[in-house]
Each structure stands twice: as C-alpha cells, then as structure tokens.
Structure 1
C-alpha cells in the first residue's frame, strides 16, 4: 500500500534554493512515486511580503510505494538525511476532490466513521498565471480563516514559482474541518471558504487543483519547538 509523507525542515538559504531548483526526481529514487518541493509561506501574510515567495523553510509533499521506501530514503539519501532533521507525518489517503498530475491516487476513497477523529488536509494546485490576482483576492481571507481557526493545530502554505501553490492543515476533528468548509464554524465570517469556492467555480483560478484528506499514521521530529502536532485519536471505553 502506498503512503504519503509531508515534511517541514529549516535549512540555509543556499540549500533551500538548490532544493527548489534541483528537486529530487522519482526515476532516480527507489519507491518514490511523486514529490513536490516547495518554499514555506505564512498563511495570511502580506501580498508583497518576501515570505510569500522564498524561505529557508522547505516543505516536501511526497507519495511512496511503501513506508519502507520512505525510511530507506530518510536514512540513506543526502536530501533524505536533511529531511530527517525536521518534522514529518506519514499519511494514509482517505479522499480526493479534483485532480493533480503525478500522484497515483487510489481509486477507492476511505472514510473516518468517527466525526471526532483528527484529519489532515492538503491542497495543491498549478495556477493560471493571469488569474493570480483574483486568486490572492479571494484566497487571503480563506488563509486567515484556516490560520486562526480554533479547530486547527497547524496550518501553513507553500509555493514554488512560477505557479505551484499548496496548503496543509491539521484538524482536531473531521467535523471541525467540514464545518469550516461548509461555513458552519462559530468564528467571524465563517462563509469565507464557501465564497471563494463559488468564485473558483464561476471562473477557475487553476490549471489543475486537488484537495486531499488523510489520516495520520505517525508523526516524527519537531517543528518550531513543537511536538505532538497531530492530535491522538480518542478511544471510547
């Protein structure tokens, strides 16, 4: 069974630049199906902030044929050893909306029957360059909604110029995430996500776009001094 992994690591600006320019290629790495290497971006940051375009914080989202392939990469590859110094979570696929080339998404969706179970959400898109101003206008309110939502334990974005953008969020419960999506959260302006989705449906911002939902299998390392970012599934006795 394939697994996904999501990595956060802080390195030098020089190494970060090299990683973005010379990203690993699946054909050269045993068991790697697809990989996206991006630069960290603070959700809700100013449009012209340097933090929106390049950072020494690197984000990697990848799919592997097996967990053993991921472990081998982290232990034996040069870039893998860099990633092993940061934080990552290993993910089991649950659901997909939309499409994105490169990843081999399972044909069958899975479900978490418990609405109180924690979930991880990843969005990734290739932008239509002339639609970037519209995307920023409608997207920044959603960024702030997710960033400030009490149901999220970690939320961030990433970018790889010229057109790849992505978000990552960890949710205390599946219900809190779906309430946010449908505008039912008890927060100011809860409808921000719905409005942006209606605008995307009216005129798409993207060449390709997908939202992926996962169950975290494990969590490793720390990020900005934090551990145990993924909530533990509660077991009813």
Structure 2
C-alpha cells in the first residue's frame, strides 16, 4: 500500500545542502516514488530573518510503495539515517485539491474521514518568481493564522530554492481545519485564508499548486524536544 511520510530533522549543513541539491531518487532508493527536500521556515517570520530559512533544519515529504521501503531507507541510506534522528509521521492519503506533476497518480479522493478526527495537511507549490512579493503580502498573514490557531499542534513552512515551497500542519480535527479554510473560525481576521485563496484564483502565484489531506498512521522520534505531536483520535 502506498504510504507518504513527512520528516523533520536537525542535520549538518553539508547534509542539508546535499539533500536540497540532489534529493533522493527512485533509482537510488528502492521503493521510493518521489521525495521533496526543503529547508524549514518559521511561519509568519520576517522575510529577512534567520528564522525565515533554517538551512540546518531539513524537511522531507515523500511517497513510498510501502512502509518496508521507509524502514530500509531510514536504516541503510545516508540521508535516511540523518532523518532517523529526528521526527517523522507516516501518512494515509485521503484527498487532494489540484495536482502537481511529481505526484501524478493520486486520485482526487481515496478515503473517508470523520469531522472530529485529526488530519494532516500538506501543500506543495512551484512559485512564479515575479509573484513572490505579492505571495508574501497575502501569504504571511495566513501563515500566522495557521501557526496561532488553537487546533494546530504543529505548523510550519519549508522552501527549496529557487521556487518550491511547502506547508505542513497537524490539526486536532478535520472540522476545525475546514472552518479556518472557509473563514468560519474564531480569532482575529478569520477571513485571511479565504481571502488569500480568492486572490490566488484571481491571479495565481504559482506554476503548480496542490493541497493534500492525510490521516496520520504513526509518528516516530521527536522534534524540538517534543513527542506526541499527533492529537489523540476521538474515542
């Protein structure tokens, strides 16, 4: 069964740079379909800031043919061993909005979920260079909205030069995530996400853009001293 993973790890600069320049490929890693390697960013951080692009903190989003392939990679591959010292979550794919060429075979919908169950959201985009200033103007308020939302247990963005950006967020429930997306959540300026999506529809920031929803299967390791990042499912 196809499985996705999202990894976070503190790595030496040379390991992070190598992963950004030459991410793992299916030819080199048995059982891998595709991997995106990015440097993490703190959501909502100033544009020019050490927190905005954290080169020693690596994020990897990957699709695998099965969990055995994940285990082999973490045990026997150089990058995999570096990632094994951090945190990762194994994911069951549920839904996508739009598509991106590097993940071409995912159906629009692959499963059902309950409104009160935890979900994980991943976005992946290829930016238009000329649209970066406009994207930052609309996107940074949304970053802060997601980061500060009481229903997220982890949220951040990641970037690979020159034009790939991703966001990752863990939500206490699908219903609370959907409320935020549609502007129905409580808190200041609840329409920020909805307004930014309307602006993207008016004039797209990206060459490609996709949002994916997952059910978390398991989590492994720790991140920034934290364990138990995934919310408990409803009883």
Structure 2 residue matching 1:16: 3-state secondary structure: helix
For the 8 Å contact 1:53–1:161, the answer to whether it is kept is no
Q: Does 1:119 align with 2:119?
A: yes
Deviation at 1:133, TM superposition (A): 0.5
**Alpha-carbon distance in structure 2 between the residues aligned to 1:59 and 1:108:** 25
Of the structure 1 ranges 45-54 and 160-169, higher mean CA displacement relative to structure 2 is found in 45-54
**Residue 8 (structure 1) aligns with:** 8
**Equivalent residues, number:** 235
**Residue 198 (structure 2) aligns with:** 198
**Residue 129 (structure 1) aligns with:** 129
**Residue 100 (structure 2) aligns with:** 100
For the 8 Å contact 2:96–2:108, the answer to whether it is kept is no
Deviation at 1:108, TM superposition (A): 5.3
Deviation at 1:78, TM superposition (A): 1.3
**Alpha-carbon distance in structure 2 between the residues aligned to 1:152 and 1:122:** 13
**Alpha-carbon distance in structure 2 between the residues aligned to 1:183 and 1:108:** 23
Runs (5+) with no aligned partner, structure 2? none
**Alpha-carbon distance in structure 2 between the residues aligned to 1:11 and 1:79:** 9
Q: Does 1:58 align with 2:58?
A: yes
**Alpha-carbon distance in structure 2 between the residues aligned to 1:95 and 1:184:** 21
For the 8 Å contact 1:98–1:209, the answer to whether it is kept is yes
Deviation at 1:54, TM superposition (A): 4.3
Deviation at 1:111, TM superposition (A): 4.2
Deviation at 1:52, TM superposition (A): 2.4
Distance of aligned partners of 1:163 and 1:212 in 2 relative to their CA distance in 1, 3 Å threshold? same
**Alpha-carbon distance in structure 2 between the residues aligned to 1:35 and 1:66:** 14
Runs of 4+ in 1 over 4 A off after TM superposition: none
Could you tell me the TM-score, scaled by structure 1's length? 0.96
Q: Does 1:233 align with 2:233?
A: yes
**Residue 217 (structure 2) aligns with:** 217
**Alpha-carbon distance in structure 2 between the residues aligned to 1:145 and 1:234:** 25
Structure 1 residue matching 2:51: 3-state secondary structure: helix
Structure 1 residue matching 2:27: 3-state secondary structure: helix
**Residue 83 (structure 2) aligns with:** 83
**Alpha-carbon distance in structure 1 between the residues aligned to 2:15 and 2:78:** 12
Runs (5+) with no aligned partner, structure 1? none
CA RMSD of aligned residues (A): 1.2
Of the structure 1 ranges 118-127 and 54-63, higher mean CA displacement relative to structure 2 is found in 54-63
Structure 1 residue matching 2:147: 3-state secondary structure: helix
